Amino acid sequence: MNRLSLFQRSRQGSYKLTSQRPLLTLSLLLTVLLTVFILGACLGNTWESPLQVLQTIIGINGDSAFVIGTLRLPRLVLAGLAGAGLSMAGAILQGLIRNPLAAPDVLGMTGGASIAAVAFIALTGGAIGIGWLPVAAMFGALLCSGLVYVLAWKKGVAPTRLVLIGVGMSAGASSLTMLLLAFSSITSASKAYIWLTGSVYGATWNQVLSLLPWTVLCGGIAWLNARHLNIHTLGEGIATGIGAAVQRQRLWLLLIAVGLAGSSVALVGAVGFIGLIGPHIARRMVGTSYGVLLPASAVIGALLLLLADVAGRTMFQPLDVPAGVFTAAIGAPFFIMLLARQRRM
C-alpha cells in the first residue's frame, strides 16, 4: 500500500506516475477553489475587482484594502481551513469505521463542542472573554470523544459499537445543549444559537492563525498515516492478519480526527454535514486510496464551506445568513439519500 496510489516504485528504486487522472482532478479542484476564493473576495455589499483583490493579497494597499484585507479575506481563509479540517476528519472516520455515514457529527465531536460552547456562553455571562470560547469548544469535543472511546472499549474498540455509542452520545449532547439554552438569558441564548448554526461572520486574522497550525499539522499527520487508513478499510480481520497494530492505530487516527474537527468547530461553530459530504464527493472523483482522498477531501470541504459562506452573505443582503444553514440544506437530503442507498444494499 503506497501512500499515494498515483506513484508506483520501479525496479530501479525511482517512482513513476501510474495514473494522471487523480493528479489532474486535484489540479482542477484547486483551480476551482482559487477561483471561488477570488470571486468571494470580490462579492459583497460593494463589488471589488479581481485586480484589487490580488493587489491586497500581495500587500499593495489600495482604496479597498480595509474591506478586502480586514473584512473579507480572513472570513474566506477561515471558512476554507475549517471546511478542509471537517472534511478530512470525516474521511478518516469513514475509513476507520468502514461506514459511509460516519462523520464528526455522528461520533459526538460536534455535540461535545456544542455543550462546552453553550455552557461557556450561558454560564459565564460574559465574565470571561469570548476569546476563550474556542478553547472551551475544543475541550468539549475532546472530552466527549474520549468518553465515547472509553465506553466503546471492550477488549478493543469495534467500529459498530463506536458508532452506536457515538450516536447515543450525540443525542444526549443535543438534549443537554437545549437544556442549557432553556435556562440561559435571552442575550446568551441568541449568541449561542448563532454559534450552533455555524458561521464565520466577524472572522479575524487571529482566528485564522489559531486554526492554521491545527489544520496543517493534523492534516499532514493524517496524510502520513494514509497507508494505515488504507489497511483499515480492508477490515479488522485482514488488518490484524497482515500485522497492523489495529487498536493503537485506531486510537491515534481518532485523535487526529478530533484535532481536525474540534479545532474547526471551535472557531466556526457547529457547521454540519461538511464532514459527511466532502469525503463522498472526493471518493467519486479520485478513488478510495487515502493518499489522494485526503487532499481531495480537504479541497472539496474548503470549497463547500466557502460557497456556503459566500451564498449566505450575498444572496439575502443586507442579511448575513450563517453558512451552516446552507450546509444543512444540502447535507440533510444527501444524508437521506445515503440512508436509502444503504437500505437497498
Contact 33, 303 (CB under 8 A): yes
pLDDT of residue 11: 46
What is the phi-psi region of residue 19: left when phi exceeds 0, alpha when psi lies from -120 to 50, beta otherwise? beta
pLDDT of residue 3: 45
Mean of the pLDDT values across residues 11-31? 70
pLDDT band of residue 304 (cuts 50, 70, 90) is very high
Cα-based distances in Å from 176 to 46, 128, 219: 42, 22, 31
Q: Worst-scoring range by mean pLDDT, 9-18, 57-66, 297-306?
A: 9-18
Q: Which residue has the cell 474537527?
A: 261
The pLDDT tens digits of the residues spanning 145-200 come to 888 888 888 776 677 777 788 888 888 888 888 888 888 888 778 878 877 888 88
Mean of the pLDDT values across residues 225-241? 83
Contact 169, 111 (CB under 8 A): yes
Residue 7 has pLDDT above 50, yes or no: no
pLDDT band of residue 33 (cuts 50, 70, 90) is very high
pLDDT band of residue 290 (cuts 50, 70, 90) is very high
Contact 306, 36 (CB under 8 A): yes
Q: What is the mean pLDDT of the chain?
A: 83
User: Between these two residues, 77 and 244, which has the higher pLDDT value?
Assistant: 77
Cell numbers that stand for 126 in this block: 460574559
Which distant-in-sequence residues (6+ apart) come within 8 Å of 76 by Cβ? Answer: 37, 40, 41, 306, 309
pLDDT of residue 220: 95
Distance CA 187, CA 75 (A): 24
Contact 83, 278 (CB under 8 A): yes
φ, ψ of residue 105 in degrees (nearest 5): -65, -35
Q: Worst-scoring range by mean pLDDT, 205-214, 268-277, 328-337?
A: 328-337
pLDDT band of residue 17 (cuts 50, 70, 90) is very low
